[in-house]
Structure 1
Amino acid sequence: MPQESATAPPRDAIAPGPAASVRPVSGAAFDWIDAAHDHRRRAGLVRTLRPRPAASPLLDLAGNDYLGLARHPEVTDAAARAARQWGAGATGSRLVTGSTELHAQLEAELAAFCGFEAALVLSSGYAANLAAVTALTDRTTLLVSDAGNHASLIDGCRLSRARTEVTPHADPAAVRAALDGHRGRALAVTDSVFSVDGDAAPLGALAAACRAHGAALLVDDAHGLGVLGDGGRGAVAAAGLAGDADVVTTVTLSKALGSQGGAVLGPARVIEHLVNTARSFIFDTGLAPAAAGGALAALRLLRREPQRSRRAREVAAALHTRLTAAGLSAVRPDAAVVSVQAPSPQQAVRWAADCREAGLAVGCFRPPSVPDGISRLRLTARGDLTDDQVDTAVGVIIATAPAG
C-alpha cells in the first residue's frame, strides 16, 4: 500500500466531500450475485464450507493426507517446536525477514530427496505454480498446457501473458505439433498426476517432445511426491527426469507431507531467477515456521519409512479393483487418487452426503472443477489405512451408490 506523505494530514482527519456525504447507499450493485447463486443451485453446483471438528468420527477418504502424516506425532511435535522457536508467523516476505534457517534446511533436504540442484519454498503449491510459470515466460514465450491441468497452472498461464496453446489431455504428439514452427522460448506445463481422475502424464514422451524443439518442461508433482518413484521421490524422479537441466518441478507440502506450503525445484540458476523475479514469491509473506518444521519432519519420516508410499498405491489399487467389480465406473489409478463417476452433479452431492451419514468422508468433484463435465466421487487412498478400513469404505460406497 502506498505510504502517506509526511506532510499530509492523516486520512481520518480529511472531511468527506459533499458528494460522499449525500450519496445514497444501494444494494443493487450486487443483485447479480443472487441470480448467479440461483443458477448454481438449479445445476446442483452450490459449494458449502463444512468446518470439521478436531476429532472427527468420519473415516477420511476426502483429504489429501496421502501418507497419514498430518497427525503423526513426529510431524505435529516438530511443527509445535518450530512455532515456539521461530514464532507463529514468518513476519515478512522471504526477502525481508521471512527466511529462517528452517526454510533453508527444508529447501536443501527437499531438493536432495527429489534429485534437483535447488529448491525454493513458498506459502502454497498454488503460489509455487504461479511463480514458476510467470517467471519462466514472457510475452514472446509459447506456453503449451495440458487440457487437464490444475487451476493454478491455468492461472499461471493467464497471468504470464504468453501465448498459450491448450493441447488434448496427456497427448505428447499434440505437444510436438504445438511446438512445431515456433522459434523462440517455449515451455510445456503439465500435472504429473491429474487431480481429478488420478491418471499420470506420459512424462518421458513429453520431455522428448520438448527436447526435439528446445523447449523446457514444467511438471506439477503435487500428487506424485510421496506416492510415486523410489521411496516416494515423485513422478519426475520415477520418469528419470529429476535433475535434468531443462526440467523444473513444483510440489506441495500439504498432501503427502501433511503440512502446508509449496516449492519449486530445478537447476540452481532457475531458482535464483525466481528469487529475483517471481511476484508470488517476492510479495508474499513467507511460509509459517510451524508448517516448514512439520514438512521437514514429514520428509525425514518418509525417507526413513519408504514403505508408506507403496502402501498408498496398494490401497488405491484395492479400491479400484473392488469398486469396479461391483459395477461402478472408476478410473484405474496411477497414484493415490481413485475417481468414481456419478450420474449427475445432484446425484454426486447426494451420494457424498449419504456416505458421510454412513461415517465416510469422500470428495465430490463437479463442474467447473472437472473439465469433461462428468461429476465424480474422489477418493484418497491413504497409506495409513488398514485393510478393515478399506473394507468399510468399499461397503459404504457400494451401498450408497445411486441407481443407474
Structure 2
Amino acid sequence: MLNKFHHFEEALEKREKNGTLRILKQNQEGIDFYSNDYLGLARNQEFQDLLLKIVYENPKLLSGSTGSRLISGNSSIVVEAEEFIAKEHQYESALLFPSGYNTNLALFSTLPTRHDTIIVDEQIHRSVHDACKMSNAKKLKFKHNDVEDLKKILKKQNGLCYVAIESLYSMDGDIAPIQEIVKITEKYKAGLIVDEAHAFGVFGYGLVDKFQFQNNVLATVITYGKALGTHGAAILTSDLIRSYLINFASPFIYTTSAHDFLWMSIFKGYEFSNTNKKLLIDLEKNIKIFRIQNLKSPSSENSPIQAIIIPDNHRLRSLKETLLDNGYLTYAVFSPTVKEGTERLRICLHSFNTEEEIIGLTKIIKEFI
C-alpha cells in the first residue's frame, strides 16, 4: 500500500537534494538572533517569578478547560481578560484564541462568503491564505505595500471586499503604509483586517492604536507569542463581529479552550510590559546599533526584524552555518518559502542583545558578503 504514496517520498527527496528539507531540531545553545521574543519576556526571570507566584496561589489555573468556550471552557478569567484587552486597545470587543494561526483561520474562513472578494498583500502570512481556501471567497493579491496596485484592484470589484495586511511584515521586516490603505479601503467601502502580530509590543499596542484607526478597521489581530513572550491571540473588533464569529467560526466553535493559565499570562503580560518600559527602550537602542553597521536591508530602520538578502540557497546556508559555528543563532529563509533570488537571513533583534553581540554578528556577515 505504501507504494501508492511514493510521491511523498519523491517530494521529500527533492527537498533534501535542494537543501530545503525541514526537520525538527531542539533549541540550540547560542546568542539569540532568531526568536520573536523581542522584549525578552519569555526569558525574563522577574516575569516568570510573577507567573509562578500566581500559580502557587491558584494551581487550578494549570488544569484543562474541559471543553470549548461554548460548553464548559468559558471561565471568568477569559471573560475578564477579553474585557481588559478590549478596553486597553479601545475596541468594543475582544475574542481570544489559542494561537494566531487559529485566529486568522477563524476570521478569513468565516466573514467572507463565496460571493465576496478577499484582497491580500502578496506577503501576507500563510495562515490567511489557508483560511481563504476555507472561505470559498475569491482571493486576489496586490503587490507588496503597493497602494496604487491595491487601488486598481479595488476599482474593478463589485460586491463586498475584504483587504488583509500586516502592519509589520515578518519576512522583509518592513511596515505597511497603513494610513494610505485606510483611506483607500474607506473610499471603496472594503473591510480592512490588520494583523499586528509583529508590531504589538514593538510599536506600543500596534499601528492601529498608534494612528487611532480603531473605527476605520473591521478587525485587528494581536498575537501574544512574540513580544509578550507567552501564547495565544485576540481579535479586536465590534460587538457585532464578535457575536458573528462566536456563532459561525468553526475554528472557535469546535476547539477546546486553552487553560486559564494562558489567559492569565496574557493579562499579566500586559501589566508587566506596561510597567517595564526599559525593555522597549533597550530594543530600540539595539535596532539603532544594528542599523548603523550599514548592512544593506529591505527592512524598516526601526524594525526588530532585519532581513539580509543572500540570493542563493547554498550561499545562505553557508552563512547561517558560519554564524552558528561562532555561536550566533539566526534563521535562514530559503526559496521556495520566498521567491527565488530573494532568499534571506532573517535577523531578530531583542532587548537583551548586547552591543558586542550585534557588532560581532554583523562583522561576520560583512566578511561573508
TM-score normalised to structure 2 length: 0.92
CA contact (8 A) 2:68 2:255 kept: yes
Aligned to 2:194: 219
Aligned to 2:168: 193
The structure 1 residue matched to 2:240, chosen from 247, 251, 269, is 269
The structure 1 residue matched to 2:231, chosen from 230, 255, 260, is 260
The 5 A counterparts of 1:144-155 are 144-155=119-130
Aligned-pair distance for 1:309? 2.8
Q: How many residues align?
A: 366
Aligned partner letter, 2:266 = A
SS across alignment from 1:322:
coil
Which deviates further from its counterpart, 348-357 or 257-266? 348-357
SS across alignment from 2:228:
coil
Which deviates further from its counterpart, 167-176 or 211-220? 167-176
* CA deviation profile, 1:165-204 (whole Å, cap 9, x unmatched): 1111111222222122434221100111111011011111
1:301 aligns with 2:269: no
The 5 A counterparts of 1:4-403 are 26-52=1-27, 57-80=29-52, 81-82=54-55, 84-228=59-203, 232-241=204-213, 243-244=214-215, 246-324=217-295, 328-329=296-297, 331-371=299-339, 373-399=341-367, 401=368, 403=369
Aligned-pair distance for 1:74? 4.3
Q: Residues 329 and 226 from structure 1, CA distance in 2 versus in 1: closer, same or farther, beyond 3 angstroms?
A: closer
Aligned-pair distance for 1:287? 2.3
Which deviates further from its counterpart, 369-378 or 351-360? 369-378
SS across alignment from 2:88:
helix
- RMSD of Structure 2 on Structure 1 (CA): 2.1
Q: What is the CA–CA distance in structure 2 between the aligned matches of 1:315 and 1:114, rounded to whole Å?
A: 27
SS across alignment from 2:94:
strand
Q: Residues 148 and 45 from structure 1, CA distance in 2 versus in 1: closer, same or farther, beyond 3 angstroms?
A: same
Aligned-pair distance for 1:88? 3.7
Q: What is the CA–CA distance in structure 2 between the aligned matches of 1:310 and 1:368, rounded to whole Å?
A: 36
CA contact (8 A) 1:75 1:295 kept: no
Aligned partner letter, 1:134 = S
Name stretches of at least 5 consecutive residues in structure 1 with no aligned partner: 1-25
Q: What is the CA–CA distance in structure 2 between the aligned matches of 1:211 and 1:94, rounded to whole Å?
A: 34
Aligned partner letter, 1:218 = I
* CA deviation profile, 1:265-292 (whole Å, cap 9, x unmatched): 1112211211111111111121232322
Which deviates further from its counterpart, 314-323 or 198-207? 314-323
SS across alignment from 1:145:
strand
Aligned partner letter, 1:295 = I
Q: Residues 373 and 251 from structure 1, CA distance in 2 versus in 1: closer, same or farther, beyond 3 angstroms?
A: farther
Q: What is the CA–CA distance in structure 1 between the aligned matches of 2:342 and 2:177, rounded to whole Å?
A: 23
Q: What is the CA–CA distance in structure 2 between the aligned matches of 1:143 and 1:78, rounded to whole Å?
A: 42
Sequence identity (%): 25
CA contact (8 A) 2:299 2:305 kept: no
Structure showing greater radius of gyration is 1
